[in-house]
Structure 1
């Protein structure tokens, strides 16, 4: 019953039809009153991502027939960002690399009226965010979604390309080394972003001949870290549009919180030992996030395991083995030691770790660089 409720609710929340209707309804007051469309931008003064995003505001304003209303906001609450210190350090490092790649000049000085209360009322928690008629867009990573929506709404000249587009994987040929690099992949069985990252991680490892090591951790909620409702809703809807961009199914979800995740991790450790870890990880994540398979049931978990190539006769023994808990804790400690706090995260050999499915293109750069150095 619980899985059925989860499937129904998440299918509704991620429905493209419902999203389109939500957008249409949000536009009604503005159209009835003949007002200019407004894009709200929320800027956090000590946030490196806000500095990058603000540098694109003049071009954004010039391109689209909208009014950009800027607001200053405070940092996210501890509930929404439980590890602010690591977040701050990572953001600075990541933003520097983004600025170099996209050739952006960060804006350091920014003035605007206070918008903390407005951001909270509209339902978000981060800086460097845009809000337009019922939908949120974070930083330069999601600006292309906002631009396409504005273009589809007839608010721009035809044929405009996004100011910042997510880089595609290169999958270069002829890049190899006598020593296979190790691709460490910190993953969780309850992370929607881990699901949409996993096929590309596997693709990179296979294409470049890297050794893929799965470093599974318990989900944040099962580690005692809160995930408020506004954060959960944003992640759900954001994953849906990213899944659509990547051509992956998403939205029929049977939440694996609790026992389903624990059972899944026991089998994942077993699968890793059998050389079938990546297959099981992808099968589990596809099952719970795209197919609504109840991993808490014996039938559902067996279905997930079977298509990953696991021997059905070995499942009971694997489920009875609690040693995965120590492995998950060791992986968590190492992830924190890398300066990161959540998944999906990854690194090549001993290079600095990266966080987020948006950074897989950076991971490929690191992988190519390592192969070139070792070749």
Structure 2
């Protein structure tokens, strides 16, 4: 009885907590608290030396600092939370490829091959970042060029700078652990994350959300240069009939994934524009494959999907969790819908 009631009210609760009204109330509360405590506008950034998205991000931070009237600082982390990355090696391999596309899109530096994950270089790079982190707390002026230099040395497999003496191993390991604990305590698990006013913004992909918020507060130049991942979608010329005849766009789709819901609609749009066949391949949700999705990760994904949907003009928020029988029922009818040629409509309305 209780479980049935929870499932019935879940969509209404999800819609309420992800509504623009609640978001505006949260933002007003953070801004009121900031003014009451006479604090400056501050963006806190979490960087990891062997994270592809961190390297991309540090290449634009100096520009960001010039464009917005905000104080920016960073914290160095090194270890990932295992429960958040059940397939760590696979994630890193895919992240390198994804970062290559982003680097091309924004004309940023990027190596032709991924550096080997040598623990000695990772530790040395992390300690060098900690040194800059310490220096930034006691000196004025921008230090992002120094941070970018360390990342470039690591990613292009160049000799790393010498580490200054004076900080014992136990001390810098404790500093890294403290930074990682702060990240977790504030509600996140990834690097290349920016924290401002109670909300998280991930790397270049979500930088436009931070730009929009700071512009709204009158802190910036009213520009959104980091919107190319969606602003230029389907702007290039469609393929000719002969070019597209034997090509297809493959989408691996999970009915439980919020990102799959948005991805399906974007994939349909791309397939139509480029005259491609859209091949949808259903996959089981992570939980049904024995992989964990902690609540902290699930809630971030939910709220992140909401703002991405808002940006793309997609209705999202009134959702229920189909885990278990809901997933099985959906997939058991997928082949039937596919044979009727209506698999896209079926998944969009499930």
Whether the TM-score (by the shorter chain) exceeds 0.5 is yes
Question: Partner residue of 1:12?
Answer: 16
1:274 Cα deviation after fit: 2.2
Cα deviation 1:225-280 (Å, max 9, x = unaligned) = 11111111110111001101111100011111110111011111211122221221
Worse overlay, 167-176 or 240-249: 167-176
Aligned pair count reads 283
Question: Partner residue of 2:269?
Answer: 203
Q: How far apart in 2 are the matches of 1:182 and 1:36?
A: 50
1:24 Cα deviation after fit: 1.7
Question: Partner residue of 1:128?
Answer: 192
- Change beyond 3 A, Cα 1:42–1:174: closer
Cα deviation 1:155-185 (Å, max 9, x = unaligned) = 123x323345323222624633263312221
- Contact kept? 1:144, 1:165, Cα under 8 Å: no
Question: Partner residue of 1:175?
Answer: 240
Question: Partner residue of 2:169?
Answer: none
TM-score, length-normalised on structure 1?
A: 0.71
Unaligned runs of 5+ in 2: 112-124, 135-175
- Change beyond 3 A, Cα 1:76–1:13: farther
Q: How far apart in 2 are the matches of 1:156 and 1:210?
A: 40
1:74 Cα deviation after fit: 2.6
- Three-state SS of the structure 2 residue aligned to 1:40 is strand
Q: For 1:1-375, list aligned pairs within 5 A.
A: 1-105=5-109, 110=129, 111-112=132-133, 114=176, 115-157=179-221, 159-166=222-229, 167-170=232-235, 172-173=237-238, 175-177=240-242, 179-284=245-350
1:45 Cα deviation after fit: 1.1
- Change beyond 3 A, Cα 1:40–1:213: same
Q: How far apart in 2 are the matches of 1:161 and 1:204?
A: 23
Q: How far apart in 1 are the matches of 2:27 and 2:40?
A: 16
**Bigger helix share:** 2
- Three-state SS of the structure 2 residue aligned to 1:282 is helix
Q: How far apart in 2 are the matches of 1:165 and 1:205?
A: 19
Q: How far apart in 2 are the matches of 1:45 and 1:27?
A: 32
- Contact kept? 1:42, 1:72, Cα under 8 Å: yes
Q: How far apart in 2 are the matches of 1:163 and 1:86?
A: 27
- Contact kept? 1:75, 1:126, Cα under 8 Å: no
Cα deviation 1:185-210 (Å, max 9, x = unaligned) = 11011111111111221222233332
- Contact kept? 1:41, 1:131, Cα under 8 Å: yes
Unaligned runs of 5+ in 1: 285-375
Q: How far apart in 2 are the matches of 1:55 and 1:246?
A: 26
Q: How far apart in 2 are the matches of 1:83 and 1:105?
A: 27
Q: How far apart in 2 are the matches of 1:254 and 1:100?
A: 38
Q: How far apart in 2 are the matches of 1:116 and 1:9?
A: 31
What is the Cα-based RMSD across aligned positions, in Å? 1.9
TM-score, length-normalised on structure 2?
A: 0.76
